[in-house]
Amino acid sequence: MKRVFIFTILTLILAFAGSPRLAGQPQKQYNFRGTYYDIRRAAHESETVPAKPVVFLGNSITEQGWWKIILRNDRIVNRGIGGDNTFGMIDRLDNILKLEPSVIFIMAGINDLANGWSEDTIAHNMAVMIDKIQASSKDCRIFIQSVLPVNEAKLAFPGARGKNPAVESLNEKYQKLCKEKRVTFLEIGKLLSDSEGSLKAELSRDGLHLEPEGYLIWADYLLKNVLKK
């Protein structure tokens, strides 16, 4: 019953959330600012947060997850911003670290790939974020979540078309990086993928962003494997 209630809430939320931001045609640039980005960032910085929060950092895929509800944890703080990339996340990481988080989950990279950045550059940016977090706190637990694949048949974002091989390559680099930095890599993408390695069609309306059921699968994995009480 509780699962049905949460699913209904997520369905209504996503239905009225509007069109998420993601790069359209590939355009190699590192700009991450814009009206929506600035509004969301200002809202984040004015928000009152709990002590030692659990932070989810990412783009629209993270932003659209109602983590506090589906993970049943009032200490969760959502720091996803639609359209953001690793450059933007580096830029706002200092403000996040001021919150003294106990845990940080990061999912990042698809918008970078859609804008033509190489997997090496993106992995380097992820390394910068990990280093900044570790320099700020020895106790903060870091979880790097794999970039989700897309579903080409349903994909509504030209910039992300044909990127699944790059997604796979980037995730391999992330996995290697996590071993080097001694942080945890979470293979979320495989939970949501079909036998061909694409995002399951039934879990996405536009081939990239998740339907509520996708978030519930994701959350269930985190509850059982990471956030066990």
pLDDT, tens only, 195-222:
999 999 999 999 999 999 999 999 999 9
Over 90: is that where the pLDDT of 10 sits? no
| Digit-coded pLDDT (tens) for 58-91 | 999 999 999 999 999 999 999 999 999 999 999 9
Over 80: is that where the pLDDT of 155 sits? yes
Strand order in the sheet with 184-186: 76-80, 54-58, 103-107, 141-145, 184-186
Residue 129 neighbours by CB distance under 10 Å: 20
According to DSSP, residue 202 is labeled G
The CATH number, out of the four listed (3.40.630.10, 2.40.50.100, 3.40.50.1110, 3.40.50.2300), of the domain defined by the range 2-14+26-225: 3.40.50.1110
Q: What was the pLDDT predicted at 7?
A: 46
Provide the residue ranges of all domains of the chain, joining segments of one domain with +. Answer: 2-14+26-225
